[in-house]
Amino acid sequence: KPFASLTGSGCHAHVSLHEPGTGKNLCQGGAPEMHGLSPLALSFTAGLLAHAPALTALTNPTVNSYKRLGARMTSSGATWSPTAATWAGNNRTALIRVPDEHRMELRLADMSANPYLMAAAIGAAGLDGLRARSVPPPPTDRNMYDASDPVVAAAIKASPPLPSNLAGALEALDASSPLRSGLGDAFVDSYLKLRRAHWAEYMAQLTPWELETYLDA
């Protein structure tokens, strides 16, 4: 997010599940109230939602990434970035959008993400949901930016909170057994060391805002 008043640059991942060999799409055939997603696709979606805080460390790997997530309204009228780990139909205010019964769109990542690490992390989180046969909460087909809506407020309260900064995301990744299992402890530990050094470098900086706010003339 290089401009405070403008919408940040997202890197949305469209995910679908297919049968080996035939290539048959396995996402479709579910109930209309679940936006047509099959039980298999719903379990994969549940895994993404449950592990969203840890995923964020890989999909949003910079200090600046968190200026996009949960950002204030922009001059265009919307941030189009998620505020909570919820899912919905064709709704761009949710973390996971289901544009049709053939796929899911994860709207978490931004343009600083490594696409290979992002794909591996999505796979690890979703497969954990499949193994556990997890069931996601009902979709929240509401404007997730409207905090005055009691349905939205309840959905946000019930969902895993998205980290507000890189340090929080790294803590979530460090504590995530499913992502450690899927990505390997050696990789996760090396990644945490690298990104924590990045966070420490940022925390050592004095910004113009701090000087203007706290330093008396």
How high is the pLDDT of residue 81? 85
- Asked if 15 and 104 touch (Cβ cutoff 8 Å), the reply is yes
Task: Enumerate residues 6+ apart whose C-beta is below 8 A from 85.
Answer: 49, 50, 52, 53, 95, 159, 160, 161, 162
Region 13-23: mean pLDDT is 96
Whether pLDDT at 177 is above 70: yes
Element (H, E) at 88: strand 87-88
Amino acid occupying residue 79: T
Q: What percent of the chain has pLDDT over 90?
A: 82
Q: Which amino acid is at 47?
A: G
> pLDDT tens, 124-173?
999 999 999 999 999 999 999 888 999 999 999 999 989 999 999 999 99
pLDDT at position 179 is: 98
Mean pLDDT of the region 35-59: 97
User: Which residues face 105 on adjacent strands?
Assistant: 14, 97
Coil, strand or helix at 33: helix
46: helix, strand or coil:
helix
**Is the model's pTM score more than 0.85?**
yes
Q: Which residue has the tokens 């404007």?
A: 143
* 182 secondary structure, DSSP code: H
Report residue 84 CA to chain centroid gap.
Answer: 8
Q: What is the mean pLDDT of the chain?
A: 92
What is the Cα gyration radius of the chain?
18
Model confidence at 213, pLDDT cuts 50, 70, 90, reads very high
- Which residue in this structure is represented by tokens 């899912």? 87
Amino acid making up residue 109? A
Residue 2 clears pLDDT 80, i.e. is over it: no
How many other C-beta atoms lie within 10 A of the C-beta of residue 213?
Answer: 8
What is the amino acid identity at position 46?
A
What lies within 8 Å, CB to CB, of 53 at 6+ separation is 85, 160, 161, 162, 163, 168, 169, 172
Q: Could you tell me the two tokens for 70?
A: 């949960």
